[in-house]
Amino acid sequence: MKLIIASNNPGKIEEYRDILEPFGFQVVSQKQEAICLEVEETGTTFEENALLKARAIYENTHCCVISDDSGLEVEALGGEPGLYSARYKGLPTEHERRLAVLEGLKGSDNRKARFVTCICFIDESGQEHLFTGEWNGVIAEKEEGSNGFGYDPIFISEDGNGRTTASLPISFKEKYSHRAKAVEKLMAYLKLLRFTPSHL
């Protein structure tokens, strides 16, 4: 059964391919399907944005779709960067966006933060399913490490032994991250439906 990933990010598409092909899905990108939709992320939650992206593709194709939306929420910044994580304060680079978070926390004792991911799966009949993963931690005093992307160099997860996520092997994120948790829920759901190659 064909499943379209609502993303133009090659890394993300590969990641989902590895996860979903064992369930018998033929995983394709929206580019492969020649779908040129730029969906405006006007939702007020990660769930709403994931739904907007997946619905736009489902309405055009009536195929199974996966989309996701993620971000970093910093408690002392009132939940920012949040939905705007990829374009925080309009700053052009990840490094500048990380510095803006560090700057915003200057003088604050509360460095609590969490990553959130919401995955939306729309099945062939159009039913929508949401799977959310959260990863708690704190914001480091300064950038450290070069693995991963985005806010990884300033995020110390609760299970990271005081090290930033970017200082730890990629395998660490694959096991503990917000995305790993949401994917785990998605996979449990697919298993429940007996979405195995033999049933497709």
By CB under 6 A, name the binding residues for ligand IMP: 68-72, 85-86, 115, 148-152, 177
Q: Which amino acid is at 8?
A: N
Cβ closer to ligand IMP: 47 or 68? 68
Task: Answer yes or no: 69 catalytic.
Answer: yes
- CB 33, CB 4: distance < 8 Å: yes
User: How near is the Cβ of 188 to ligand IMP at its closest, in Å?
Assistant: 21
**Contact residues for 98 (Cβ-Cβ < 8 A; gap 6+):** 143, 151, 153, 154
Cβ closer to ligand IMP: 164 or 195? 164
Q: Which amino acid is at 60?
A: N
Of all residues in this chain, which one has the CB nearest to ligand IMP in the complex? 150
User: How near is the Cβ of 28 to ligand IMP at its closest, in Å?
Assistant: 19
Classify residue 81 by its DSSP letter: B
Q: 69, 109, 152, 159: which is the annotated catalytic residue? A: 69
Cβ closer to ligand IMP: 70 or 167? 70
User: How near is the Cβ of 47 to ligand IMP at its closest, in Å?
Assistant: 12
d(CA 29, CA 108): 43
Cβ closer to ligand IMP: 46 or 195? 46
User: How near is the Cβ of 178 to ligand IMP at its closest, in Å?
Assistant: 7
- CB 67, CB 54: distance < 8 Å: yes
Q: How many CB atoms lie within 10 A of CB 184?
A: 14
Structure tokens at 86: 């990829």
Cβ closer to ligand IMP: 62 or 95? 95
User: How near is the Cβ of 150 to ligand IMP at its closest, in Å?
Assistant: 2
d(CA 30, CA 12): 12
> Under the phi-then-psi rule, with left for phi > 0, alpha for psi from -120 to 50, and beta for the rest, what region is 134?
beta
- Partnered with residue 121 across adjacent β-strands are 66, 129
Q: Which residues are catalytic?
A: 69
